[in-house]
Amino acid sequence: MTFIQRRTLLAAAAGVAAAPFAASPAFAAVPKVYIDPGHGGTDPGASANGLTEKHLTLAIALQTRDFLLARGNVAVRMSRTSDITRSLTWRTDDANAWGATIFVSIHINAGGGTGFESYRYPGTGATTQRLHSNVHSRVLSGMRTIAAVTDRGQKTANFHVLRETAMPAVLTENLFVDRVADANLLKRADFITATARGHANGIALFLGI
């Protein structure tokens, strides 16, 4: 056969070989969810109205983990499960070394706004965009089971934990500690639980678990 014919046959064979992979589930049998409660230890994050970000992020993250584990068929690892200091590099190195399927970082906003917003890294592909969309919509609907919450939108930003993670990653900013109406919601146990359930539902939707 000619070189051209041989090239064509090889390409066809490669196409046949690739098809089963394209049709198979996108994720390992037991997906690995890395949950990153923002701040902790010597880094309190934002503080206002008697609230401190590091405590809120941990409370939401721990309940998100528990909701996910209750569903089963998922592994969960956290950057911290108590009030300890973790550098940003430690968090992303740990997630990468574990081989996380997805990375979800949980934060509380400050600076005078109100409502919920979330972030992915600029220029990320369709998979990360779908994770972002799934988590954003479910967190918002979870919060709205408790109260009206402003949707500040799905945004992109060059954050360390989004840039240095080797898997689809999203970061949520769950209301503003320095807005009294938002802070009053963040003080409610049912709102924290609804926010955590929203994170778990969005993650589960993305993973198909």
User: Which residues are known catalytic residues?
Assistant: 173
Residues in Cβ contact with 126 at an 8 Å cutoff, skipping those fewer than 6 apart: none
Cβ closest to Zn ion, residue 110 vs residue 204: 110
CB of 160 to Zn ion, least distance (A): 12
Look at the chain and count its residues: 209
Cβ closest to Zn ion, residue 92 vs residue 101: 92
Helices (H), the chain: 3-23, 53-71, 88-98, 126-143, 160-163, 180-186, 189-207
Angle 71-139-74 from CA coordinates, rounded to 5°: 25
The window from 38-46, 131-139, 156-164, 199-207 that contacts Zn ion (CB under 5 A) reads: 38-46
CB of 25 to Zn ion, least distance (A): 33
Single out the residue of 37, 38, 115, 168 in contact with Zn ion (rule: CB under 5 A).
Answer: 38
| Residue whose beta carbon is closest to Zn ion | 107
Give SS3 for 9.
helix
Helices (H), 53-153: 53-71, 88-98, 126-143
Cβ closest to Zn ion, residue 27 vs residue 159: 159
CB of 107 to Zn ion, least distance (A): 4
Helix 189-207 with 53-71: angle, nearest 10 deg: 50
Angle 36-178-47 from CA coordinates, rounded to 5°: 55
The window from 22-30, 43-51, 124-132, 190-198 that contacts Zn ion (CB under 5 A) reads: 43-51
* Interactions with Zn ion, residue window 92-111 (CB under 5 A): 107
For residues 39 and 16, give the distance between their C-alpha atoms in angstroms, rounded to a whole number.
48
Q: Quick one: tokens of 78? A: 């956290």
| Beta pairing, strands 169-176 & 151-156 | unpaired
Cβ closest to Zn ion, residue 107 vs residue 199: 107
Cβ closest to Zn ion, residue 107 vs residue 179: 107
# of chain residues touching Zn ion (CB under 5 A): 3
* Interactions with Zn ion, residue window 44-63 (CB under 5 A): 45
Residues binding Zn ion (CB under 5 A): 38, 45, 107
